[in-house]
Structure 1
């Protein structure tokens, strides 16, 4: 968990043995988003573009999501290095850098509109699972994030330990 004044954020770093172009496709292409993110990003991929974040039907059905579409905006679009967008008030930033050891380092940072300790722990667990699914996709062994409820529950407890107030 990170803080900047009154803002609460999360930062995850992953290393991949793939070139930046491969990782970029995985974080920006709808057919690949389906494997690791609970929603599609519908709209032009361009800085300033308004987007619709449409939850995949399996997530809507499993979690009874009453409003399956959130709106957002692409704030930074610098292929193939930076993709930053808003989703329901949160800011999500994906930064890719070449890395001599692994080939590509992904730094994912999100600034949360929900700043309560329990909400941050839940969000951290959810993104942890999403990034685990991204890891699996890039390794050629996709997994389903809709079957990860037990893992999310375990991770929530782990993240709550490091959260102020817990």
Structure 2
């Protein structure tokens, strides 16, 4: 997996690139279907992200819930998905790579000082996504539960990497 932070005007964009073993249409379903998102993503989606328009993404941390407004800006199956998440923008690009998919996530952060924390979270989420796509779900890792799965070590590692 490749990860970096780059300046994009007044904000910063976190870029993750991951090679997945499944074809783009399978990855697309995991990125857009609320039932699949609920098994790996840091939020629950009120509606399908495969349709442009407004929705709600709910952050979940144990019993705590926080609804954030979202707008799906682009839903071009199975290659491009872009939506707002609160003040942030997430852009998912899917390219065929052999029999699998090259997934690029561009997460433009409204608060760039959170880059290492966000990177650690997405790292864990994308690990869980790969298990789900492989048919070996391990269960969603959200909120404080991430501390039990190496989040702090990942955050420290990304912090060192992004300072270079």
What's the TM-score once normalised by structure 2's chain length? 0.86
Aligned-residue RMSD, C-alpha: 1.8
List structure 1 runs of 4+ shifted beyond 2 angstroms. Answer: 43-47
Specify which of 130, 133, 154 is matched with residue 128 of structure 2. 133
Partner residue in 1 for 2:73: 75
Structure 2: distance between partners of 1:88 and 1:2: 20
What residue ranges of structure 2 are gaps of 5+ in the alignment? none
1:84-141 deviations in Å (ceiling 9; x for gaps) = 10111110111111112x421111110000112xx11111111111111111111112
Q: Which has the higher strand share?
A: 2
What residue ranges of structure 1 are gaps of 5+ in the alignment? none
Structure 2: distance between partners of 1:19 and 1:115: 32
Specify which of 76, 96, 99 is matched with residue 98 of structure 1. 96
Partner residue in 2 for 1:158: 157
Structure 2: distance between partners of 1:109 and 1:79: 17
What's the TM-score once normalised by structure 1's chain length? 0.85
1:83-94 correspondence to structure 2 within 5 Å: 83-94=81-92
Matched length: 155
